[in-house]
Chain A
């Protein structure tokens, strides 16, 4: 799989040292992400059973992934019985061939697309254009980044980095619209331009939020109506579905929809929730089931949970690193915490091995994830793999440093000797104008801790520990939790 094109603007993925992930995100992205998180926190604080909801959603996903092959077969059987053609693609290249094949078979000249992250993995738009077929993104945010020739910065709000002025200039330049920075006017302009596209397109494409195995149903959620129009208007509908999107039963849907909408956009339900029952009479429905590296996640048992993701974007909004470095810094389709735990599996640790290190392990992501993916634990797991397998983070220097550290910490005598050297080193650094490597990375923005005049704690303890006499005994009964609140 060649992903070199995808890694544009992501030189950090091959860098190892200084300059890694410098803040470069846009202010509006940071502010919007923070506002979304705070808003979600307020909503969640008002729901007494939110944790139970998360647990229920988590279990549905756990069961789905644990039975993935059986559910895919069931899904395929039931939706094929409803007139759909189900095709499987091992990788992006195969999926692109299938899509173009379908388009050619039906004489399609333009394609209206609603949001599909899978299509971003495929770089489908480029491939369609190269094949002489015009792709039109209809989700407003995707439409904006398509016009701007940029990649999305966020999986739910792709153009979060663009201000209204930016959009106005874009429309003036690319659509010949008179300049305005007024949100209503800009949205109306987009609506006008896209209307014609829906009506003329020979094919509509969508992603799939949930593929329901026991009924053979596609569930797609959206707010703009563009997925409804993209899938209903043209005579051919091609749905792109990652293998992990299949769920066991229609009965599981309300629980998943419930947490998805709230975590994604702070809504109780998105404006449109579509349950598409196979091929509508008179139309063709193709469902392309794509692997593209997801089997790698399955094969790494400790990492499997990452496939539970329902693409809500809450982890992005909550991540203090994402807010500051922005969506492109992650180098590929999925930014933020979920990107850091998925991309290494999908494109390979050899290319994306630095991503799991783009985190302070604060855990805000795991806290907000509606399906309880333990993202922080996924991150340390991938770090362990990255330093041991072929990746930009595997480093002989680092290994030797940590082995030396491990030796130094292996016993109290070695520890004391090492620490004496460290204290001496920190004292001497005051006199050195330039600090190398990691020391320099610290001191470029912070004071080093002061080396205290007094001796280490151990030394104090040796002198005074034996003399510490406990005063009166403590209360014998710890107070109960009720008493404490």
Chain B
């Protein structure tokens, strides 16, 4: 039998993997991918809570699913803006390694 806790544990492991990616990797694009993993881990636990909290008619809580929809929309916009910034940065510095991008102004 699958319980709410199982989904929360899977979500927690996925969040920790994304966090490790942000801590360990030095390539900006991989860091952005790890951020997406963390956002999706949060979405998984939100949807699990939505299915767990049924309302009086027995349906899942759709307010939470609307919230997940907004998170997906904003994350897609964030990826587009982030990648455009990386392209502009690559034109100026020919690198996407965070070790070479340590000054605010150049």
Do A and B interact?
no
> B-side interface residues toward A, CB under 8 Å?
none
